Amino acid sequence: MSFLKITSAHKAYRTPEGAMVHALNDVSLDIRNNEFLTLLGPSGCGKTTLLKCISGFEDIDSGEISLEGKDLKGVPAHRRPFNTVFQNYALFPHLNIADNVGYGLDVAKVARKQRDLRVEEALELVGLTGFGSREPNQLSGGQQQRVALARSLILRPRVLLLDEPLSALDRKMRENMQIELKMLQDSVGITFVFVTHDQEEALAMSDRIAVISDGKVQQVASPTEVYDEPANEFVANFVGTSNIFTGRIFEKQGNIVTIETANQRKVQAESDRFGVGDHVQLILRPEHLKFTPGGNGVPDNCIEGVVETCIFVGSDLHLHVDVGKGRKAVVHHRHDRGNADEKIEAGSQVKLYYSPRAAHLIKAVVN
């Protein structure tokens, strides 16, 4: 039996200006027990709406949300076995940390002794032992975050919903919390549904990622799959950076296909799925593009171009290469200290090449 299942969920609302917005447009999603699932998408894509519909703060217009086969329609938020960690933490300012964490137990009228014990446990779980008597405003952002986690986890929810919980933290803190959250999820064994617009965060933490855009689920897959085999152009561009070449396969040898792009460039890729005559898009990650300075010693299957900009970002060198006819290619080159070949400047002639195995093909939308 499926665990948390969303079937053909629709939700539309009217903006104050009168336009209809389809926040959820036929969303179906099967969330597995004990997994860390991330809803990833740009702001306004519907991911937060979906979270609110799961937690019960909003109704879906049509479709179904069910937990272990039981429809949740009409079940108000406070009767759903889900808990939420809010973006701004939403700690009750009039209660101290222990009372914040114990709130759910107090509401459920759990006996005092057991309640105190469980509050202690929950605070220990998030590394805040001894913070019980402090006030929320005395805590740092990261600590407030942990309190919010403890407050939700203490109720042992079936699903923990996290609404961009790390967005208010600074970069360092955010990276630490990513690891902690992942470890926490492993140790408590609760399904986490995590909303974010940050693709790195999604890749780092998730068992699976659901990429959402325009109220639709674009792809649901593991982080490596989403990155290596994006289902469509949106996913390819939103998760990581992509070089995309659109064209038609005109030759196939073994599982190596050769594609001719609209401007007569020939590129190769490995594919079992596609055959001669198919319209495809070739997706190539910038780190899979290699370059040699222009001139001799050219491998097969290469693209010539002129370096437009060269940006040093520390671990990598980012090249933007003009490959002719207004097309640009992005190359991420691992920084190699003291390598003379790296002496690339704007204006340099380069040849770009890649292994056909690194290229991913998707069906092109032909109009």
Partner 1 sequence: MLDKILSSRFWSWLFKGYGIVFLIFLYLPLGLIFVYSFNANSINMAVWTDFTFDWYLTIFGGANSQSEFDAAFTESPERIFEVVRNSAVVALCASTISTVIGTATAIALQRYNFAGKKFYQALLILPMIVPDIVLGIALLIFFVGAGFELSLLTIIIGHTTFLASYVFIVVSARLAGMDTTLEQASADLGAGPLTTFRRVTLPQIMPGVVGGFLLAFIISLDDVVITYFIAGVGSQTLPIFILAMMRRGLRPQINALAVLLLAFSFVVAAIGLYLRSRKT
Partner 2 sequence: MAGSGAILARKRRTLILLLAPLTLMLSVFFLIPLSIMVIYSFLEPGLYGGVEWNWYPYNYGRILGWPLNDFETFEVIYLKIFLNSAQIAVMTVIVTFLLSYPAAFWVSRMTGARKNLALFLITLPFFANMLVRIYAWLLLLRPTGFFNTILQSTGLIAEPLNLLFTNFSVIIGMVYILTPFMFLPIYASVEKLDYSLVRASQDLGANPIQTFRRVILPLTAPGIIGGSVIVFIPALGNFIVPAFLGGSKVQMTGNLIERSFLQSRDWPFGAALALLIMAFVVILVMFQISRQNRAAERGIA
Which positions lie near partner 1, rule CB under 8 A?
55-57, 76-79, 82-84, 86-88, 90, 92-94, 103-104, 106-108, 151-152, 155
Q: CB within 8 A of 326, min separation 6: which ones?
A: none
Between 61 and 260, whose beta carbon lies closer to partner 2? 61
The structure tokens listed for 298 are: 């050219």
Report the amino acid identity of residue 366.
V
**Cβ closest to partner 2, residue 14 vs residue 172:** 14
Kindly state the smallest distance separating residue 14's Cβ from partner 1, in Å: 11
Contact 1, 68 (CB under 8 A): yes
Give which of partner 2, partner 1, none residue 55 binds (C-beta under 5 to 8 Å, depending on kind). partner 1
Distance of closest approach, residue 307 Cβ to partner 1, in angstroms: 49
* Beta carbon nearer to partner 2, 61 or 316: 61
58 binds, among partner 1, partner 2, none (CB under 5 to 8 A by kind): partner 2
Q: Which does 12 bind (CB under 5 to 8 A by kind): partner 1, partner 2, none?
A: partner 2
Q: How far is the CB of 46 from partner 2 (least distance, A)?
A: 16
Nearer to partner 1, 93 or 254 (CB): 93
124: helix, strand or coil: helix
Measure the CA–CA gap between 197 and 351, rounded to whole angstroms. 35
Retrieve residue 9's tokens: 């969920």
Is the Cα torsion angle 217, 218, 219, 223 positive or negative in sign? Answer: negative
The closest alpha carbon to 80, from 41, 44, 54, belongs to 54
Greatest Cα pair distance, the chain, in angstroms, is 80
For partner 2, the closer CB: 65 or 126: 65
Give the residue with the Cβ less far from partner 2, 73 or 335.
73
Smallest gap, in angstroms, from Cβ of residue 126 to partner 2? 31
Please say which residue, 57 or 250, places its beta carbon nearer to partner 2.
57
Residues 166 and 88: their CA atoms lie apart, in Å, by: 9
DSSP strand pairing (279-284 vs 360-363): antiparallel
What residues line the site for partner 2 (CB under 8 A)? 12, 56, 58-62, 73-74, 76
- Reduce the DSSP state of residue 200 to 3 states and report it: helix
Contacted by 94, from partner 2, partner 1, none: CB < 5 to 8 Å by type? partner 1
In the list partner 1, partner 2, none, the entry touching 62 (Cβ below 5 to 8 angstroms by class) is partner 2
Q: Are 163 and 87 in contact (CB under 8 A)?
A: yes
**Closest distance of CB 208 from partner 1, Å:** 24
Give the shortest CB-95-to-partner 1 separation in angstroms: 8
- Out of partner 2, partner 1, none, what residue 59 binds, judged by CB under 5 to 8 A for its kind, is partner 2
SS3 125: helix
d(CA 343, CA 209): 39
Q: Which of partner 1, partner 2, none has residue 167 at its interface (CB below 5 to 8 Å by kind)?
A: none
Comparing CB distances to partner 1, the nearer of 85 and 177 is 85
Q: In whole angstroms, how close is the CB of 9 to partner 2 at the nearest point?
A: 12
Nearest-approach distance from CB 74 to partner 2, in angstroms: 3
Residue 71 interacting partner from partner 1, partner 2, none (CB closer than 5 to 8 Å by kind): none
Burial of 40 (0-12, 13-18, 19+ CB in 10 A): buried
Is the distance from CB of 210 to CB of 219 less than 8 angstroms? yes
End-to-end CA distance of the chain: 41
* 178 vs 209: CA distance, rounded Å: 15
